[in-house]
Amino acid sequence: QRYRIAAILGDGIGREVVPEGLRCLRAAAEAHGFELDVVEHDFACADHWLRHGAMLPPDWKDVLGGFDAIFFGAVGWPEVVPDHVSLWGSLLQFRRGFDQYVNLRPVRLLRGVRSPLRDHGPGDIDFRVVRENTEGEYSNVGGRIFEGTDRETVLQETVLTRIGVDRVLRYAFDLAAGRPRKHLTWATKSNGISIAMPYWDERAAAMAKQYPDVVADKDHIDILAAKFVLRPGQYDVVVASNLFGDILSDLGPACAGTIGIAPSANINPDRTWPSLFEPVHGSAPDIAGRGIANPVGQIWSGAMMLEHLGEPAAAAAVLAAIERVLADRPEVLTPDLGGPGTTEGLGTAIAAEIAWA
């Protein structure tokens, strides 16, 4: 079996962690008997912006559309290009253009990783955030009027469609139905956002009726954020709109130790287009270029990619290698995990573990 992978390194630590992700993917391919054709692309970065005045070439959809998956680092270098321009000009184009309407973000407290929460150890936190990824609060509908006057007014609309809401809810309910606890929580804020969120609640309640085995409940986003910190163990599958899901999926991993280990999958479940796998974190300009970024989020995203490609044994092997190295090799851990190690050292240790296992 042979898979064609488009690799996009992006900016900042993306350029440091993607090579470690590829190192581990190659080790997994070798050990599990399949081949990876990796093609690196040098767009979706500040450098491309400087050279071409755009984040992507005009034919990006043809260039990427034929790959089996996209392995992405992180984009953003605010000194050169404003963040809303770099993100809308690249990653958000991929998510929308390839209809990657599910952003799946596992949150697990692994052995060897210390949670900042008191009384939480390995195994106590294990849930999935399912974030709506193509509409919602991240809309382009709006604008400014009376600019430069004291009546200056700024408006940005939330867009929810029945298809868009139902398809991400269905994915989340299916996911919950397949897990031992069969528990789903949906995030809302229908007390404050009085038009969009009651609609979201209504569709979620209707979907819950189709899944009698799943225990479904809702939390307002404010208390949900508090409960992530106070009682993260009670969650199993959490489904949320684009903005709420974005926030929860940084908060969740932070509760599970560090955002540096958190993976994500931008999935097109219909498989009409390639899905995209990337860590939750960004380009981290504050630590870029120092070789100390944690590569685990990127490597774990690679495991999710293998799962999606139909290589579950290889995916499990990568995750097991991550867990063993984090638990047993404190000397290779990066500073965010409290260790003295480097990006390359941790990546190499995990790749070696994949190869030996």
- For the bound state, the minimum distance from the C-beta of residue 296 to ligand NAI, rounded and expressed in Å, comes to 8
Closest Cα partner for 277 from 294, 265, 262, 267? Answer: 265
Asked if residue 278 binds ligand NAI (CB under 6 A), the reply is yes
Residue of 5, 22, 74, 240 that binds ligand NAI (CB under 6 A) = 74
Closest Cα partner for 257 from 322, 331, 337? Answer: 337
- For the bound state, the minimum distance from the C-beta of residue 273 to Mg ion, rounded and expressed in Å, comes to 22
Asked if residue 278 binds Mg ion (CB under 5 A), the reply is no
Which of Mg ion, ligand NAI, none does 260 bind, CB closer than 5 to 8 A by kind? ligand NAI
- Select 131 or 218, whichever has its Cβ closest to ligand NAI: 131
- For the bound state, the minimum distance from the C-beta of residue 336 to ligand NAI, rounded and expressed in Å, comes to 4
Contacting Mg ion within 232-261 (CB under 5 A): 246
Closest Cα partner for 44 from 7, 5, 91, 80? Answer: 91
Phi-psi region of 53 (alpha: psi -120 to 50; beta: other; left: phi over 0): left
Contacting ligand NAI within 157-216 (CB under 6 A): none
> Strand pairing partners for 6?
39, 70
Asked if residue 297 binds ligand NAI (CB under 6 A), the reply is yes
Asked if residue 76 binds ligand NAI (CB under 6 A), the reply is yes
Pair 107, 127: CB distance under 8 Å: yes
DSSP string computed for 181-240: T-EEEEEE-TTTSTTHHHHHHHHHHHHHHT-TTSEEEEEEHHHHHHHHHH-GGG-SEEEE
- For the bound state, the minimum distance from the C-beta of residue 144 to ligand NAI, rounded and expressed in Å, comes to 21
Asked if residue 75 binds ligand NAI (CB under 6 A), the reply is yes
Name residues whose C-beta falls within 8 Å of residue 163's C-beta, 6 or more positions apart in sequence: none
Asked if residue 260 binds ligand NAI (CB under 6 A), the reply is yes
Asked if residue 91 binds ligand NAI (CB under 6 A), the reply is yes
- Select 207 or 333, whichever has its Cβ closest to ligand NAI: 333
Count CB atoms within 10 A of the CB of residue 99. Answer: 18
- For the bound state, the minimum distance from the C-beta of residue 294 to ligand NAI, rounded and expressed in Å, comes to 3
